[in-house]
Amino acid sequence: MLKEKWEKLGDCSPLAALKSAGETRWLIDKVIASGSINWMVAAPSSFKSFVAIDMATCVSTGRPWHGRETSEGVVLYLAGEGDTDVHVRRAAAEMAAGDAGLLAIAQVRPRLDTPEGLPALTALICNATAGDSPLSRETDAYNEGGDDNWHDKYLSQEEIEQLEERCRKSASVATKPLRIEKRGINESHADFEARRNRQYAEQQAERDELYERAWQETAHYRAELARPRASAYDATMLRYLGIAPRLSLDDYGASESVNQNVFLIIDTYSQTSEDDSKGAVSAYIKTLKGMQDKFKAAGGTLTILVIDHTTKSGDSYMGSLAKEGDSDAMIEVNRRGNDYSVTLNNTKMRSAACFEPIHLNLEPFTLGGFNDALGRPLTSLIVVDGEDAHKVRKLAGDKGETAAALVLSLLTRNGARSKPDLKDLFTSHSSNEGKKDDAMKRAFNRALSHLENNGLIVTDTLGLISIVQDDDLLA
């Protein structure tokens, strides 16, 4: 009944919007919408970069992200912080998954809150996708003249503005009406006509010369000296074309749909903007939306994730409200104390309902065949699903006592164990690294007592400890 009434309303009906909402495409199902701008905020040492790298490697291969389908695409990760560690994290994630995709990491810091931000992003994305993205035509004109003296062929933005100002002045003079003095008292009509025609011709010639000068200053300087589109935009494009990474799409057999789907991750906002003021944030987001408009016009989709820091109190993002107001989604990454576990909370989702909290764990991973500077096996952390571990922590008590939760987690993963074996697993766990033996022994014994007293674990006749078998226990 209501739908029939809506249909009669024509353009005033919400049916078109409802249909559009029902057709929302997702880069990561129910987490990141395709073509959206997303803000991920977290306190320092909250593993936000690990989470972002994990997302990047999944999208670049098209494999699910912790049970959520992804839309495969080219990924450009702008790493403004860190050194080789970001590459190690990426390698660990890909080695753990046994797959690698179209992921380019550029360790650059383009200023996206300035006029040069848009050409910088254009160049970085074009180079990262080997010129096969929808923006490839943006670089066609520039690739011809990329020699060492390319900067001599261009006018700076300041020079162009000065040039255009001169042109405006010339044009204003050229368009002034022709002026002839009135006929003199003793001047015959024939003499006046001759004088008027002569002055008209002189002034017209002067005006034509001014028009010619204006044309020369615009067309000649631009076409002959600086090339047709010479500007700071071009200069920025060429600068970033020289330092951006290149992928070989042919080697991956990438389809056209993959080339047109690009996931841009910016790590972090503070490294690519001067400050958190409203003006800087607004200019920043304007650059991002300008790039998305370019992609859309070319038939592609650009999805953006900006990583940002929280305030010192950790209860909000830093800076202007424009970050939340102009973005499509806000995602908070919260680390649980000093544990290797994080929770993603969604505080805003423009295209759908906010997703339920996502629980993730980080585990040590050894990169086989690679060593550090001291010859030891190279290690990093990888992100794994943490839903079961989160349920275990809840089961351990309202306060989520770390030691008890760890014991339950070890039993969940390894099955029934004797007390000595379980203790060895407990003390060798990465979360206990650096702790004294006596402290770990006391924590282990307290955890066992807590779990036994609450009927959560049981010891059988063979001395094996296991979780009480209850189907609802970890529901």
Span 232-250, pLDDT tens digits: 666 677 677 767 677 766 6
pLDDT at 132: 57
DSSP state of 244: S
User: Residue 22 — very low, low, confident or very high, per pLDDT cuts 50/70/90?
Assistant: low
Give residues with Cβ within 8 angstroms of 98, minimum separation 6: none
Q: Please state the rounded mean pLDDT for residues 31-51.
A: 94
Is pLDDT larger for residue 108 or for residue 157? Answer: 108
Q: Please state the rounded mean pLDDT for residues 247-268.
A: 78
What backbone phi and psi angles, to 5 degrees, belong to 444?
-65, -45
How do strand 301-309 and strand 26-28 relate by DSSP bridges? Answer: unpaired
Taking each continuous run of H as one helix and of E as one strand, the counts in the chain are 17, 14
Task: Report pTM.
Answer: 0.70
How do strand 341-349 and strand 358-371 relate by DSSP bridges? Answer: antiparallel
Residue 116 has pLDDT above 50, yes or no: yes
CA distance 418 to 420: 6
What backbone phi and psi angles, to 5 degrees, belong to 192?
-65, -45
Q: Please state the rounded mean pLDDT for residues 441-446.
A: 90
First-to-last C-alpha distance (Å) of the chain: 41
- Across the chain, mean pLDDT equals 79
pLDDT at 155: 52
What backbone phi and psi angles, to 5 degrees, belong to 301?
-135, 130
User: Residue 24 — very low, low, confident or very high, per pLDDT cuts 50/70/90?
Assistant: confident
In this structure, of 40-49, 98-107, 257-266, 310-319, the range with the lowest mean pLDDT score is 310-319
pLDDT at 466: 87
Q: Please state the rounded mean pLDDT for residues 110-136.
A: 78
DSSP state of 181: P
How do strand 464-467 and strand 329-335 relate by DSSP bridges? Answer: unpaired
Tokens 């164990």 found at? 417
Helical H runs in 23-98?
A: 48-61, 85-97
Is pLDDT larger for residue 243 or for residue 137? Answer: 243
CB 139 within 8 A of CB 126: yes
User: Residue 226 — very low, low, confident or very high, per pLDDT cuts 50/70/90?
Assistant: very low
In this structure, of 23-32, 185-194, 267-276, 423-432, the range with the lowest mean pLDDT score is 185-194
pLDDT at 92: 94
User: Residue 413 — very low, low, confident or very high, per pLDDT cuts 50/70/90?
Assistant: confident
